[in-house]
Structure 1
Amino acid sequence: MADHEPSSGATGLPEALMEGYESFISGRFLADHERFEELAVKGQTPKTMVISCCDSRVAPEAIFNARPGELFVLRNVAALIPPYEPDDHHHGSSAALEYAVMALKVSDIVVLGHGQCGGVRAYAQIAADPDTPRLSHSDFIGDWIKMLAPAADRLGVAPNPKDSVYVERLEFEAVKETLRNLRTFPMVQVLEHHRHLRLHGALFRIMDGRLFLLDESTGAFEPVCETAYAAAFAEARF
């Protein structure tokens, strides 16, 4: 096999990943080589943490066109963060939050929800029909998305996974729930109080690429960068 051809035999990686790596190493890595060298020597100093969903369609680095080292990203099902629980259990999300806030000293945390969220829809489906089959006996996902219960209660209507309007409302409300949970952490409370840390709620709509930002003074999500968005779609592309 020629040198430029990907080979998954030696590593066991899927061929698509090998091809992607070859494209990266000969393209973006070379273009940003000095940036990577600097990051390797000096370490990372991101100013923003993004808490996003695991969904493969929602990549914060792509949505915000971020360079390597600019975002500290934590991805969980439905972009959820559990409330502060100082016990002996394993808390991966809390550990990542602690590192971002206390070690990296990020100045901003963005909770990024998204449209067509499978975790949000799954909660609505289970809440509407408790007999919905679980993916496994352990039901890790089912236990995780129970955190959406307070968000669903605030909507004041019965969960309906078939109602797209309801699901979208719950997607927005889920972002607010994560913000509430973040503020149960003492370190977040103190830093936000002293204005060393700012929290933001946002939602990316996959269907049309719109980004919405939460105005906590009104509780409403408003679209951002409307001028740039309109300009991008000024001409028919399809």
Structure 2
Amino acid sequence: MKRVRPLPSYLVQRYQGWKATKYKDNQAWYRHLAHEGQHPRAMVICCCDSRVHVTAVFGADQGEFFLHRNIANLVPPFTEDGAQHGTSAAVEYAVTALKVAHVIVLGHSNCGGVRGCESMCSGEAPELEGKTSFVGRWMDILRPGYDRVKDIEDKEKRIAELEKQAVIVSLENLMSFPFVRDGIAEGTLTVHGLWHDIGEGEIEHYSAVDDKFVPV
């Protein structure tokens, strides 16, 4: 622990600026959130990618979204193995404790995790195949999606389609959670799949009827 250092000065300055302006102007709201607890409308499962700014894209206020980030916005299938599952725990808490009305899986363009999965599955990234690769073992979740797009000859088109498969696979895996299925059956929960083009600022949503992504 001796190697843990204080915050970089630029972050300290940004914090102080926030505290003196935005927090000061909205102090009552922040205190309301602190004392009344959170009541988010939706859970958003998105990528760790720093370019994916979920609250800005949807103009969300603090307390509106229950956010969970991981590599390539993946949801693993439901299991009862007793292991530690951060994403599964987040989904459980959002649905059963917070009672969110929506679970949204948000994929995006130029995803490094998805590109890594394509490289691993095509044999171009042996370093991700090892048991000690946390990224590789996490990206195993997306192998079924890769199998669906592997015959696309153009690599960049294959990767682009795999980004959308990351959303579809996650939606399929969400349906394996009993409390998600129960919420949908009872009409208290809906699930949604989105893909965001970072450069163009576009959003597409997955249409189950058409089995494809269409512009919002």
- How many residue pairs end up in the alignment? 212
Please give the alpha-carbon distance, in whole angstroms, between the structure 2 residues aligned to 1:124 and 1:28. 42
17-26 or 113-122, which deviates more: 17-26
Q: Which residue of 2 aligns with 1:8?
A: none
Correspondence for 2:56 among 50, 62, 75: 62
RMSD: 1.9
Q: Which residue of 2 aligns with 1:48?
A: 42
How far has the Cα of 1:20 moved from its partner? 2.0
- Output the TM-score relative to the length of structure 1: 0.84
Unaligned runs of 5+ in 2: none
Deviations 1:166-224 (A, max 9, x none): 11111011101000000000000111112110000001111111111111111121222
- Output the TM-score relative to the length of structure 2: 0.92
CA 1:124–1:39: 2 relative to 1, 3 Å: same
User: Does the 8 Å CA contact 1:128/1:158 hold for their aligned counterparts?
Assistant: no
The answer to whether structure 1 residue 86 and structure 2 residue 80 are counterparts is yes
Partner SS state of residue 110, structure 2: coil
The answer to whether structure 1 residue 179 and structure 2 residue 171 are counterparts is yes
CA 1:19–1:223: 2 relative to 1, 3 Å: farther
The answer to whether structure 1 residue 150 and structure 2 residue 144 are counterparts is yes
Q: Which residue of 2 aligns with 1:194?
A: 186
Counterpart residue type for residue 67 of structure 1:
D
User: Does the 8 Å CA contact 1:115/1:204 hold for their aligned counterparts?
Assistant: yes
Largest Rg, 1 or 2: 1
Counterpart residue type for residue 213 of structure 1:
H
CA 1:23–1:141: 2 relative to 1, 3 Å: same
Unaligned runs of 5+ in 1: 1-10, 225-238
Please give the alpha-carbon distance, in whole angstroms, between the structure 1 residues aligned to 2:125 and 2:69. 28
User: Which structure shows the higher helix fraction?
Assistant: 2
The answer to whether structure 1 residue 114 and structure 2 residue 108 are counterparts is yes
Counterpart residue type for residue 96 of structure 2:
M
Please give the alpha-carbon distance, in whole angstroms, between the structure 2 residues aligned to 1:59 and 1:191. 28
Please give the alpha-carbon distance, in whole angstroms, between the structure 1 residues aligned to 2:31 and 2:200. 36
Please give the alpha-carbon distance, in whole angstroms, between the structure 2 residues aligned to 1:103 and 1:131. 40
Point out 4+ residue stretches in structure 1 off by more than 6 angstroms. none
Q: Which residue of 2 aligns with 1:6?
A: none
Please give the alpha-carbon distance, in whole angstroms, between the structure 2 residues aligned to 1:144 and 1:156. 19
